[in-house]
Amino acid sequence: MLFEFLAEKPSKKTLKYLVGFSFILLIISMAVILILLEMSNFSGTLEETQLGFSGMYIKSKFDLMNENEMNFFILANIFDYIFMLASGTFFFSTSLLLAGQLKEDSIWKKVGYVIAILGIISACCDALENIFLLLMASDPAGFPTWLGIPHSSFALAKFTLMYIAFGWILIFSFSRLFVKKDN
């Protein structure tokens, strides 16, 4: 039933608008986030912060930041919710647009629908990850270090789903260059 709904809604025209709008929003939001993170002087690496499963590591990086820098860090992570909206919309609409090019009831069309849903779930995992990060940032010296575990768990889920969605979109798009349009 969900697949039938996705086959009809949103329209192809709406999907094209969503792809374009979300792509532009992705670029703008990422630029703003990177600027804010730079202003925060947060010295943690992506691998050790988001995928390190260590609240102690995050706490050690927070210890190096003053209150103003911490405010920029928090602002960057709040602004990240715009990026999440953009990424979820981009993966969802792009996957549906591409799946629409496939034969009805084909397994690959169904995979495209699943990938669209995974794009939204990825953004939701990112939102949950940020909740834990914002909890840690709200008490940078005193937060319970176990918060690093759910933070990194949701980050791992986010990246896994995001890479699956992006990989499918990339592989499908390149494969269409070499396959007849009626397939």
Chain segment 7-54, per-residue pLDDT in tens: 677 889 999 999 999 999 999 999 999 999 999 999 998 889 999 999
- The torsion region of residue 180 among left (phi > 0), alpha (psi -120 to 50) and beta comes to beta
pTM for this structure?
0.91
Which two three-digit tokens encode residue 13? 């025209």
Mean pLDDT of 159-169: 96
Contacts 24+ apart (CB under 8 A), 104-109: 104/7
- φ/ψ of 67, rounded to 5, equals -60, -40
Domain ranges of the chain: 2-175
**What is the C-alpha to C-alpha distance for residues 88 and 129, in angstroms, rounded to an integer?**
15
